[in-house]
Copies of this chain bind each other. A is one copy, B any other.
């Protein structure tokens, strides 16, 4: 059975990259000329924000589409602008896929029973119409929060199976207070995040694809390399989605423990560090050349990570 992980691996080999470009548009950081164009057409409302976001994303996608396997739009930034934001999100997903990129929606959705089923339908599967069914966002993978347990996850894994999609479950997040809940030691042994990892392994065990990886992955922060090492052992067949690289402080060496010896098993996300690279002097780009700056930032990220992987004999292509 071919699954999401097989498609991911194929794309990683094809692009020679394990980098993910996080499309987290913040209106205050969008280049002024794009905002002016949007404002001229749509005024000073939500439509202008949505239009500026999509135009921004489109140019970033065009710039990086040969360099990375995956883009990851963060839904919160789109949801802020109501239906105009959701339209920008949807158009970004479709445009990215048309350009040959896999799309992970970072939405951290979670609920139970028929409600979780509705989220799975919205993002991964098909939704009910008066007559028949139709896909909605149709992303390739979705981030999910599993605090609610097994019956909150089942609708998502069922959609993964039926539609060749993937999920990444929050295990050990990159933020400084992720330990508040996640690091607490359990009486039965191990910490909460390790228990979560055991569940990820279990939930993904019958969704393993041709290349040996499950379509149920885990979110593991680049900021916690020690924990990542341990998690790599608990979930050998899960891909890790690794946030916290770059702006949040994680470096190329920090992400190394997230990879298996075959060089697969992780994709590393950078958002601000890539899409707002024009703000950094090192790339020597003006605001109007923001795409070029992103391209240079991705090139640097690919080089940095691939160099470290190579040193350890973990280059998989």
Interface residues of A (CB under 8 A from B): 24, 26-28, 35, 38-39, 44-46, 48-49, 52, 74, 76-77, 79-84, 86-87, 90, 108-116, 118-119, 121-122, 127-132, 134, 136-137, 145-152, 170, 173-182, 184-188, 192, 195-196, 199
Contact = CB atoms under 8 A, between A and B. Distances in A.
Nearest to A175: B112
Contact of A80 (B39, B76, B127, B176): B127
A117 to B, nearest CB: 8
Copies in the complex: 2
B24 A181 contact: no
Contact of A83 (B49, B83, B119, B127): B83
11 contacts: A28-B128, A49-B129, A74-B115, A83-B83, A113-B175, A147-B147, A148-B170, A149-B177, A150-B177, A180-B199, A181-B192
Contacts of A45: 129, 134
A114 B111 CA distance: 23
A119 B145 CA distance: 15
Given A46-B134, A150-B180, 18 more contacts: A38-B130, A45-B134, A46-B136, A49-B128, A76-B115, A76-B122, A80-B119, A82-B86, A82-B90, A82-B136, A112-B173, A113-B175, A147-B173, A147-B181, A149-B179, A181-B195, A184-B186, A185-B188
